[in-house]
Structure 1
Amino acid sequence: MGNNAFLGGRTRVRIVVAGDPGTGKSSLICTAASDVFPKNVPPVLPPTRLPEDLYPDRVPLTIIDTSSRAEDSGKLGEELRRADAVVLTYACDQPATLDRLSTFWLPELRRLEVKVPVIVVGCKLDLRDEHQQISLDNVMAPVMRQFREIETCINCSSYRQIQIPEVFFYAQKAVLHPTAPLFDEEMQTLKPRCVRALKRIFILCDHDRDGALSDAELNDFQVKCCNTPLPSSEIVGVKKVFQGKLPEGVNEHGLTLTGFLFLHRLEFGYDNDIKLAENLMPCSFKRSPDQNVELTNEAIDYLKGIFELFDIDKDGALQPIEIENLFSTAPEFPWNEAPYKDAAEKTALGGISMDGFLSQWAVMALLDPARTLENLICIGYPGDPSSAIHVTKTRRYNRKKQQSDRNVFQCLVFGPKKAGKSALLNSFLGRPYSDTYSPTDERYAVNFVDQPRGVKKSLVLREIPEDEVKKILVNKESLAACDIAVFVHDSSDKSSWKRAIELLVEVANHGEITGFEVPCLIVAAKDDLDPFPMAIQDSTRVSQEMGIEASIPISTKLCDFNNIFRRIVNAAEHPHLSIPDTEAGRSRKQYDRLVNRSLMFVSGGAAVAMVGLAGYRARKNASS
């Protein structure tokens, strides 16, 4: 992997030097650039660039000098906000300038919201009173505890050329190799994402899967990181250190995961945010609004194998601890929060079946392809990432062909409050019916639906709260990725029926206007209750007028679903059918037909006129 991939693609580092007047800022910069202490230094230097080969990372370094005058505070603030790192100087022979770091400069950086690494530099070390020497650690420890943005502290002397290159080396290193994403200064421990990344690296290096890195595997790791082998003497030395200070860090097979965490060298495809670098995910997710992303059969087969591998008790389900272990090498557990939490069917013990597991991956690929691919790679997917996903054909194409070959269908579930939307989603996941009503936010439910000839399709139900409908329809492309819409109403409540039809008309009009029309079904929930008067007649009239199927009666209480989920999938598979025809739509089509006829008339008239003109010219030419 190239150096720039590890450095997040940085092509330069900009370091701003600030501090009280007379603390040695300009002399520090001049000496770093020329290796010579300057006799005459201007008040403020122009931007200074250090040679890119001065430090191992070979990234050009630009140093910005600043003025401490009150009248230049505006310019100072601008430079600090543009900094990648800040060097704050004080004079070792002027204790008051050291106090000013915590009373002015560091608070000022926070006021300006400058959130970059800070290097504190004590200049003029050669002028320090030898009789009043104080340990730098003792002086700066309380300041560093208060201001965690301080990366390191160092004393230097431009006159004696003591530790001048080190100042800017530490500043550059803080930018290119930040510790903040890796290490919790407060707790003095590695951060969880870092531990997960290192665990994945350890597993990748542990070729024989014996839970330890042998000498050969440890050497391979060193070569991968540094392009150079690890001498045998150093391997022996590493083991001796662990045997003395951390016995569990080694065993008879080699270096354990516990020991490996002390050798945290992140050179296996992560960027500074502990995310996989972009060059490891070459797939393009560019697609039309009405195209979706699905997992390929190759990825699904791999996930089936992973499921069986981590199903330690072989009970056909992944228990919470087993699924946590499965994702222990991912940046974090991906299904802890909405929309994935509780979106799939669970077993009685809180585990997840094979179908539930694959369903979770299907909905994640639909909603967040990049995150899906990252998690696949992190749990060890061995193939080319581009072989794990594919982009479906557009819905426009499917309508033209009158058939959809998608394997994952997204259904938006609309309806008024207390219509039975949540009960429908719960029943889809095999959850028991409850009479208790509790308002819900937008949520998802995903499961497989058996089709003829043993085919299974994934169906993603997305419940849309009544209050959110207008907000969703503001977006022109809100229906683009939707394969079908379902409108649920309480069959015993006429007002619920009327509201459901109003929502249907709103959605249908939106689809006609934007060009993203969707098949629609009406679901008459609570069929166990007495229907409101004229329910059948109203339902028949509306379905005939709109050209869609009559309301489908269901009762989640009696577990009478009338094959509703298969019927949803069937309607989605034939996207040219079940498109509602609204009054506004009919008026619009009639207007379009009139316009087209007018254009045809005008075109015909123009053609006749042209023929007449041509004849007139011919007669005129003949007579002349």
Structure 2
Amino acid sequence: MAGGGSKNPGGVRIVVAGDAKTGKSCLVLAAASDTFTPNVPPVLPPTRLPEDMFPDRVPVTVIDTSSSPENRNKLVEELKKADAIVLTYACDRPATLDRLSSFWLPELRRLEVRVPVIVVGCMLDKRDEEYPISLEQVMSPIMQQFREIETCIECSAFKIIQVAEVFYYAQKAVLHPTAPLFDQEAQTLKPRCVRALKRIFILCDHDRDGALSDEELNDFQVKCFNAPLQPSEISGVKRVVQEKLPEGVNDRGLTLTGFLFLHALFIEKGRLETTWTVLRKFGYNNEIRLADDRLPPPFKRHPDQSAELTNDAVDFLRGIFFTYDIDGDGSLRTPEVEDLFSTAPENPWNEAPYKDAAEKNPLGGLTVDGFLSEWALMALLDPIRCFEYLIYIGYTGDISSAIRITRRRRLDRKKQQSDRNVYQCFVFGPKEAGKSTILDSFPGRPFPEDYVPTTTDNHYVVHVVVDQTEGTRKTLVLREIPEDHVEKFLSSKDALASCDVAIFVHDRSRESSWKRATELLHSVASQGESTGYEVPCLIAAAKDDLDPYPTEIQDSTRVSQDLGIEAPIPISAKLGDLNNIFRRIVTAAEHPHLSIPETEAGKSRKQYHRLINRSLMFASVGAAIAVVGVATYRVYAARKNSSG
């Protein structure tokens, strides 16, 4: 279907439902043939309506249904496949109208069928003319209660009154729905519609002067409707806006306020197709997001490859940062970030995992490193969504110029170095070990006095790590894995594929914390050995401001030596002594062949493979000697025969 929004790419599927004998089949047949047919089957087969019935020329298929209990499953199946639903009642039987609000509309909600509904009063010709009923008066309370009702209409299949209009409104509700654009109660454009129209306005304001000149208005008209505007028409449009909204026009042309006012006016007058045509032309779907065909398909990549921003994208984002840093204080405060995303469907950083993931200054403003870090996190976790939001804020390049796919981590280990700019570290440890505190201290947040357990594995922080000696800058993402989630997390064979380093945190004052941390370390090491996604591992001895438990040094030395990794790194977030741990995490990620723990099972497996390889080598040597022996014998036999 042109423009998207339908579940059926071949056209619009309209399902007609309602109580028995309310005129469903007669209505469908009258629409298809433009005549009344007295003897109609109980349920019609799927009926294709003529395309020339509709201005959009989009095919419409109408599905008739039975309301009898034995056909219940079929009815539910059809309702769930519908793009729009026509609910019928009989104009001469008020009880069938009551059934809409007592049964049919609540039933659609219970089935979670979320499509536009057209309420249709059939058999208008049978209603007693002595008792005229105002449709608006009758339907207003129902429409207030059930916002999914798009339109109410009365018709007569017998006299062919407003039959075609029923399906025109149903098709229009699918192709040009009101709900995404307009709040009927508040009588205003919805926020997401305003954001999309603002982006379109900015794209059409070629000289960036904050107004659409006559020439720019004409270009807009040609792009969207393939027809130019006459000078008198442009003057007329501006005059209508100026009379109602003086600030809608200035000496440079139509302002954003005026542009939005015009669209609200179109919608109020029932001309939703005008606004939808504009939105479709600029790539929007029914959710007022960029349609899938305007975005690249998901990247084809191995689980141990990741996505990160290119230098072009980073340069673009730096420019955007300083454009929106209106007060020039080197940070983006909340209103400035909201302004930046005012041309996107919403601010993506208002929710986890991006909310509060990056560095802010003491006044709560996002620093330039924090800003770029948030984008790096988006590229890592959801590269297509990251690219979508780059487009919303004005990026005009293709995805290959914005996002690169890194080399496989497996290959990095073989080559003994990594060329990534963004590293991801998984943070494991028992409850109350200090995992969250380490994450919070990374972007410089103050030490929390109260313990708050982490209940989600969606807790990320991201920040830039600078190597002062080499002058390199890497972005490090820390992801906390709560203790309760570890077993489920490791049940996936690709659990460690996206991990560059794992760090295991324990409270060094408690032996139980240490023991649990080592159990987790062994679990992760075993998982890495069995799946081929081995990761460098570090141990953090947190709460170094407290006295260690008695055998802490001996235990930690033994475990680190047995596994072949570094001794635990003592840190105290409370004292602000982090022992350069984030730089050490990055160093471990840059040299991914080092710091990989080896369990006893892993050592045995390696020894077994070495023995097999050695046996194969001896077998090969033996076979080679045998071949040489046979060849030598053949030469000897040939010589003996020739001399005889």
Q: Please, what TM-score do these two structures have when normalized by structure 2? A: 0.88
Q: Is the 8 A contact 2:296 2:384 kept in 1?
A: no
User: Cα gap change, 1:40/1:233 in structure 2, threshold over 3 Å: closer, same or farther?
Assistant: farther
Q: Is the 8 A contact 2:241 2:261 kept in 1?
A: no
- The answer for the alignment partner of 1:82 in structure 2 is 81
Q: 2:343 aligns with which of 313, 329, 341?
A: 329
Residue 520 of structure 2 aligns with an amino acid whose one-letter code is L
- The answer for the alignment partner of 1:229 in structure 2 is 228
Q: 2:382 aligns with which of 368, 380, 383?
A: 368
Q: 1:316 aligns with which of 316, 327, 330?
A: 330
Which has the higher mean CA deviation after the structures are superposed, 70-79 or 394-403?
Answer: 70-79
Q: 2:466 aligns with which of 438, 447, 450?
A: 450
Q: 1:350 aligns with which of 355, 364, 369?
A: 364
User: Cα gap change, 1:71/1:403 in structure 2, threshold over 3 Å: closer, same or farther?
Assistant: closer
The one-character-per-residue Cα deviations of 1:141-196 (angstroms, maximum 9, x if unpaired) are 11211222211012223333332222111111112222222333444433322222
Which has the higher mean CA deviation after the structures are superposed, 548-557 or 451-460?
Answer: 548-557
Q: CA deviation at 1:205?
A: 1.9
- The answer for the alignment partner of 1:432 in structure 2 is 446
Where does 1:375-454 land on structure 2 (aligned, <5 Å)?
Answer: 375-441=389-455, 442=457, 443-451=459-467, 452-454=469-471
Where does 1:502-513 land on structure 2 (aligned, <5 Å)?
Answer: 502-513=519-530
The one-character-per-residue Cα deviations of 1:238-287 (angstroms, maximum 9, x if unpaired) are 33333333333333333332332244422321111111111221254221
Residue 583 of structure 1 aligns with an amino acid whose one-letter code is E
The one-character-per-residue Cα deviations of 1:115-134 (angstroms, maximum 9, x if unpaired) are 32211222333444433322
Q: Is the 8 A contact 1:48 1:63 kept in 2?
A: yes
Which has the higher mean CA deviation after the structures are superposed, 160-169 or 124-133?
Answer: 124-133
- The answer for the alignment partner of 2:479 in structure 1 is 462
Q: CA deviation at 1:77?
A: 3.5
- The answer for the alignment partner of 2:639 in structure 1 is none
Corresponding position: 1:473 with 2:490: yes
User: Cα gap change, 1:491/1:17 in structure 2, threshold over 3 Å: closer, same or farther?
Assistant: closer
Whole-angstrom distance in 2 between the partners of 1:106 and 1:467: 43
User: Cα gap change, 1:49/1:612 in structure 2, threshold over 3 Å: closer, same or farther?
Assistant: farther
Whole-angstrom distance in 1 between the partners of 2:191 and 2:107: 32
Q: CA deviation at 1:310?
A: 0.6
Where does 1:511-530 land on structure 2 (aligned, <5 Å)?
Answer: 511-530=528-547
Where does 1:14-33 land on structure 2 (aligned, <5 Å)?
Answer: 14-33=13-32
Whole-angstrom distance in 2 between the partners of 1:193 and 1:500: 47
Q: CA deviation at 1:613?
A: 11
- The answer for the alignment partner of 2:568 in structure 1 is 551
Q: Secondary structure at the match of 1:335?
A: helix
User: Cα gap change, 1:6/1:239 in structure 2, threshold over 3 Å: closer, same or farther?
Assistant: farther
The one-character-per-residue Cα deviations of 1:428-469 (angstroms, maximum 9, x if unpaired) are 212233454333344222111112432200011112222222
Task: Provide structure 2 residue ranges, at least 5 long, that are not aligned to the other structure.
Answer: 264-274, 635-644
Whole-angstrom distance in 2 between the partners of 1:359 and 1:83: 43
Q: Is the 8 A contact 2:5 2:174 kept in 1?
A: no
Q: Is the 8 A contact 2:433 2:505 kept in 1?
A: yes
Whole-angstrom distance in 1 between the partners of 2:135 and 2:101: 15
Whole-angstrom distance in 2 between the partners of 1:65 and 1:146: 26
Q: Is the 8 A contact 1:214 1:254 kept in 2?
A: yes
Residue 287 of structure 1 aligns with an amino acid whose one-letter code is R
Q: CA deviation at 1:208?
A: 2.4
Whole-angstrom distance in 2 between the partners of 1:487 and 1:103: 58
Task: Provide structure 1 residue ranges, at least 5 long, that are not aligned to the other structure.
Answer: 618-624
User: Cα gap change, 1:97/1:333 in structure 2, threshold over 3 Å: closer, same or farther?
Assistant: same
Q: Secondary structure at the match of 1:119?
A: strand
The one-character-per-residue Cα deviations of 1:394-453 (angstroms, maximum 9, x if unpaired) are 001111111100000001122223333233222221223345433334422211111243
Corresponding position: 1:55 with 2:50: no
Whole-angstrom distance in 2 between the partners of 1:260 and 1:240: 13
The one-character-per-residue Cα deviations of 1:39-67 (angstroms, maximum 9, x if unpaired) are 44333322211133432333221112233
User: Cα gap change, 1:616/1:166 in structure 2, threshold over 3 Å: closer, same or farther?
Assistant: farther
User: Cα gap change, 1:475/1:40 in structure 2, threshold over 3 Å: closer, same or farther?
Assistant: same
User: Cα gap change, 1:91/1:540 in structure 2, threshold over 3 Å: closer, same or farther?
Assistant: closer
Whole-angstrom distance in 2 between the partners of 1:148 and 1:130: 30
Q: Is the 8 A contact 1:4 1:10 kept in 2?
A: no
User: Cα gap change, 1:263/1:541 in structure 2, threshold over 3 Å: closer, same or farther?
Assistant: same
RMSD: 3.1
Q: CA deviation at 1:108?
A: 3.9
Whole-angstrom distance in 2 between the partners of 1:616 and 1:152: 99
Q: CA deviation at 1:21?
A: 4.0
Q: Secondary structure at the match of 1:203?
A: helix
Which has the higher mean CA deviation after the structures are superposed, 585-594 or 4-13?
Answer: 4-13
Q: CA deviation at 1:234?
A: 3.7
Q: Secondary structure at the match of 2:349?
A: coil
Residue 364 of structure 2 aligns with an amino acid whose one-letter code is G
Whole-angstrom distance in 2 between the partners of 1:586 and 1:44: 72
Q: CA deviation at 1:565?
A: 1.6
Which has the higher mean CA deviation after the structures are superposed, 413-422 or 269-278?
Answer: 413-422
The one-character-per-residue Cα deviations of 1:91-120 (angstroms, maximum 9, x if unpaired) are 334444433433443344344443322112
Which has the higher mean CA deviation after the structures are superposed, 492-501 or 314-323?
Answer: 492-501
Q: Is the 8 A contact 1:483 1:575 kept in 2?
A: yes
Residue 448 of structure 1 aligns with an amino acid whose one-letter code is V
Q: Is the 8 A contact 1:377 1:385 kept in 2?
A: no
- The answer for the alignment partner of 2:604 in structure 1 is 587
User: Cα gap change, 1:430/1:15 in structure 2, threshold over 3 Å: closer, same or farther?
Assistant: same
- The answer for the alignment partner of 1:200 in structure 2 is 199
Which has the higher mean CA deviation after the structures are superposed, 83-92 or 370-379?
Answer: 83-92
Q: CA deviation at 1:341?
A: 1.6
Which has the higher mean CA deviation after the structures are superposed, 108-117 or 364-373?
Answer: 108-117
Q: Secondary structure at the match of 1:243?
A: helix
Q: CA deviation at 1:499?
A: 2.6
Residue 215 of structure 1 aligns with an amino acid whose one-letter code is D
Q: Is the 8 A contact 1:85 1:175 kept in 2?
A: yes
Whole-angstrom distance in 2 between the partners of 1:343 and 1:301: 21
- The answer for the alignment partner of 2:180 in structure 1 is 181
Q: Is the 8 A contact 2:6 2:83 kept in 1?
A: no
Q: 1:307 aligns with which of 299, 321, 341?
A: 321
Corresponding position: 1:289 with 2:303: yes
Whole-angstrom distance in 1 between the partners of 2:192 and 2:610: 61
Identity of aligned residues (%): 70
Q: Is the 8 A contact 2:462 2:476 kept in 1?
A: yes
Q: Please, what TM-score do these two structures have when normalized by structure 1? A: 0.91
